[in-house]
Amino acid sequence: MTPQSAWAPYEPDPQRPWDLRRAAHLLRRAGFGADWPDLQQAVADGPSKTIDRLLGPPEDLAAFDADFDQYVSASATGGSTESLRAWWLRRMIETPYPLLEKMTLFWHGHFAVSNVGVNNATLMARSMQTLRRGALGSYRSLLGAVMNDPALYLCLRSERSRRSQPAPNVARQLLAAFGVGPGNFDEQDVTEAARALTGRFVLRNELRFFGHEYDDAEKTLLGQRGKWDADDAVRIVADHPATAEQVVRKLYAWLVSESDDPEPQLLAPLVADLREHDDIGRVVETMLRSNRFFAPEAYRRRIKGPVELAVGLARAMEQTVPTVRLGQQLAELGQDLYRPPTSAGFPSGRDWINQATLIARWNLVSEMLAASGSFEGRLNPAALATKHQRNQPEQAAQWLAELLLDGDLPETVGRRWQQQPPTAAEMPNTLRRLAIELTQLPEYQLA
């Protein structure tokens, strides 16, 4: 594909039909997967109308957000974020706007503010709201909001930045992780950015500015010289071409494929668009509508993070689950919400999978689908099959494969169901076992 054809809108044709497989692919990437009614609606509506619906906030979003914001505010006490983590997981499972939560999760990994250094649930709740508000808007505005977040300075142990003692940690994070990326700045840029950030102190959990501690001398940052302050530093970094490329490259791995390293020429149109319009939502929309997104090279080319794995299963089964316990298990798998393990965020790609974590992922889906235990048997494949009028054994098995695996029922499983169909009494337990078997397949571990 040329860059122009790669990012041109996908139009279904006989060689690339709009079908359940492509609809499920879209709903996994633009959210956490879908339940059966959403899948059927997407297939019926076609790609353009489905993407329109995914991009736009639904009418009931304000009421939904108001309820959850109230729950979060009530839970944001003390130093622990365990309750916040549980409420965010429930929000992901129940949200009518999955793209917004998926992008909030993306920015949580990108900015990687962790409660390990903050130890304040109220600040962490406020920090997450900052990401949610800016998730699909201006990157410069989002970066500026994060750089004004006291949680960032506490996380990086940079509560005081004096004229005589600039704090380099935030400056380095601004350049390396939030901005131009490694290889595009040097230690002098870190020093100059730190000088621009002087005068910033976190006092009583608020970011305050003291002019007498600000270094007002000239500075040279990324080749630009002037009496730069913190806002100038954000502007210079946000407007740099390498920043747009780093952000677009991360979005490509998140939404399109993490298994290839795209050439700069392929990403160039998106980089140019982000620089011109400073609109994250535009870039996301271009990716989701594109030929590249619906190409074989993008299908199942991401490994689900633990959160995607669990939330996607709950949404497919049309039930929430006890999310305090779920949050604990996801933390054990390496994705502890509100506590990214390093300043680089959460692992990605093959880093999620090794012998130990693969077994733990199998155990997680098995426990979620169990008839009893920590998740109280709430995910019930047999009840869901009956709800959607798939009452015959073979019919139920194929339907479950369509829901969970885009219709890819393994031949050995299909043959087994034909040769030994379960009785009506056996159906509930047998469908649970089948759901567990399907969710433990390699294909289900991929988004």
pTM over 0.85: yes
Write down the pLDDT at residue 393: 86
248 and 343, same structural domain? Answer: no
Is residue 22, in this structure, part of any structural domain at all? no
| Whether the predicted pLDDT of 123 surpasses 90 | yes
Write down the pLDDT at residue 421: 84
Per-residue model confidence as pLDDT tens digits over 94-113 = 999 999 999 999 999 999 99
Is residue 280, in this structure, part of any structural domain at all? no
Q: At what angle do helices 168-176 and 230-239 cross, to 10 degrees?
A: 20
Compute the distance between CA of residue 105 and CA of residue 135 in angstroms, rounded to an integer: 9
| Whether the predicted pLDDT of 83 surpasses 90 | yes
The bridge status of strand 200-203 relative to strand 206-209 is antiparallel
Is residue 383, in this structure, part of any structural domain at all? yes
Write down the pLDDT at residue 419: 82
Per-residue model confidence as pLDDT tens digits over 393-404 = 888 999 999 999
Per-residue model confidence as pLDDT tens digits over 270-322 = 999 999 999 999 999 999 999 999 999 999 999 999 999 999 999 999 999 99
The mean per-residue pLDDT over the stretch 344-373 comes to: 94
Write down the pLDDT at residue 412: 86
Is residue 59, in this structure, part of any structural domain at all? no
Closest CA to 268 of 282, 248, 296: 248
Is residue 109, in this structure, part of any structural domain at all? no
Helices (H), 59-97: 61-75, 82-94
The mean per-residue pLDDT over the stretch 146-158 comes to: 98
Using a pLDDT cut of 70, give the percent of the chain over it. Answer: 100
326 and 208, same structural domain? Answer: no
* Cα-based distances in Å from 442 to 6, 34, 435: 28, 19, 14
Compute the distance between CA of residue 447 and CA of residue 61 in angstroms, rounded to an integer: 26
315 and 199, same structural domain? Answer: no
What are the φ and ψ backbone dihedral angles of 71, each rounded to 5 degrees?
Answer: -60, -45
DSSP at 258: S
Is residue 107, in this structure, part of any structural domain at all? no
Which amino acid is it at 218?
E
Tokens of 436: 């567990």
| Whether the predicted pLDDT of 417 surpasses 90 | no
Compute the distance between CA of residue 35 and CA of residue 424 in angstroms, rounded to an integer: 24
3-state class of 319 per DSSP? coil
Write down the pLDDT at residue 281: 98
Is residue 130, in this structure, part of any structural domain at all? no
* Cα-based distances in Å from 192 to 155, 211, 226, 360: 21, 17, 11, 46
Write down the pLDDT at residue 410: 86
Is residue 323, in this structure, part of any structural domain at all? yes
Q: Tell me how crowded residue 356 is: count the other CB atoms within 10 A of its CB.
A: 9
Write down the pLDDT at residue 257: 97
Stronger pLDDT, 359 or 394, i.e. the higher one: 359
404 and 334, same structural domain? Answer: yes
433 and 314, same structural domain? Answer: yes
323 and 215, same structural domain? Answer: no
Helices (H), 317-439: 323-332, 355-369, 381-387, 393-405, 411-419, 427-439
The mean per-residue pLDDT over the stretch 211-220 comes to: 97
Q: How many domains does the chain have?
A: 2
Question: Within 13 A of 261's CA, how many CA atoms are on the CB side?
Answer: 0
3-state class of 248 per DSSP? helix
Write down the pLDDT at residue 414: 81
| Whether the predicted pLDDT of 424 surpasses 90 | no
- For 52-56, 186-190, 394-398, which range has the lowest pLDDT when averaged over its residues? 394-398
Q: How confident is the model at residue 409 (pLDDT cuts 50, 70, 90)?
A: confident
Write down the pLDDT at residue 416: 84
Residue 441 lies in domain = 306-445
Write down the pLDDT at residue 394: 84
